[in-house]
Amino acid sequence: MIKLTGVGKTYADGTVAVRELDLDVATGEMVVLVGPSGCGKSTTLKMINRLIEPTAGRIEIDGRDVTSSDPVELRRGIGYVIQQIGLFPHQRIIENAMAVPLLLGESKRTARERAAELLTMVGLDPEQHGHRFPHQLSGGQRQRVGVARALAADPPVLLMDEPFGAVDPIVRVRLQEEFRRLQRDLGKTVVMVTHDIDEAVLMGDRVAVFAEGGRLAQYGTPAELLARP
């Protein structure tokens, strides 16, 4: 589904963020990129949806070369969830969740129904939470809205950068488990970045361990990684 071959990224100032990266992600698989801060995880994620251009190698999604795809069309097929999700602060939660369906040309009524469905999917009550504003939700609830919004266009691929990083530890475990169930149910292909090895092992079908200098140190199932010293 997603295939990176010999991918490298050297920023304009000479920083080598990623080098010689080979990575393949199967359809419906959840792959977690883990490693210390600054080792190129976010850069890798952003190259997949072309927020950043690689300086070496090739990235394919479904056999199509990402660097020669139209970025707007490309991102229609890729949901993106980041730690500080930007909800519209002056719009209610239901309106935030309606934004993408409206952009896709749905009628207001259909968009509202779709938004309610999406909020329910991520464990929010459209009646109870839909009429609140973002600042009236907890951090964990806001991240749920972020996931709902990323799923709105029903993209086959989701990219997530520390999606649960700012959420307190107890809520976080619930979100991890619930997200994993949702991901399996919907059959989404996911690449997620974290610096938390426990989260990586809990959530990943496979885990890619990045090392200092943007190199891939290990890539395998949690069982394979735990079996090694």
Taking residues 119 to 138 in sequence order and writing x for each that binds ligand ADP by CB under 6 A, - otherwise, the string is: ----------------xxxx
Taking residues 135 to 154 in sequence order and writing x for each that binds ligand ADP by CB under 6 A, - otherwise, the string is: xxxxxxx-------------
Instruction: State yes or no: residue 17 binds ligand ADP (CB under 6 A).
Output: yes
Question: Site for ligand ADP (CB under 6 A): which residue of 20, 53, 154, 168?
Answer: 168
Question: Which of 43, 39, 7 lies closest to 23, judged by CA?
Answer: 7
In the complex with ligand ADP, the residue whose CB is nearer, 21 or 39, is 39
How many whole angstroms separate alpha carbon 214 and alpha carbon 75?
A: 25
Taking residues 21 to 60 in sequence order and writing x for each that binds ligand ADP by CB under 6 A, - otherwise, the string is: --------------x-xxxxxxx-----------------
Instruction: State yes or no: residue 13 binds ligand ADP (CB under 6 A).
Output: yes
Give, as ranges, the residues between 170 and 189 that touch ligand ADP (CB under 6 A): 171
Contact 128, 177 (CB under 8 A): no
How many whole angstroms separate alpha carbon 128 and alpha carbon 81?
A: 23
Question: Site for ligand ADP (CB under 6 A): which residue of 6, 11, 71, 187?
Answer: 11
In the complex with ligand ADP, the residue whose CB is nearer, 37 or 68, is 37
How many whole angstroms separate alpha carbon 127 and alpha carbon 120?
A: 10
In the complex with ligand ADP, the residue whose CB is nearer, 65 or 168, is 168
Considering only 12-20, 98-106, 113-121, 152-160, which stretch makes contact with ligand ADP by CB under 6 A?
12-20
Contact 167, 89 (CB under 8 A): no
191: enclosing H helix or E strand: strand 189-194
How many whole angstroms separate alpha carbon 8 and alpha carbon 214?
A: 9
How many whole angstroms separate alpha carbon 10 and alpha carbon 78?
A: 24
In the complex with ligand ADP, the residue whose CB is nearer, 20 or 168, is 168
Contact 115, 126 (CB under 8 A): yes
How many whole angstroms separate alpha carbon 156 and alpha carbon 190?
A: 9
> Which residues here bind ligand ADP, judged by CB under 6 A?
11, 13, 15, 17, 35, 37-43, 135-141, 168, 171
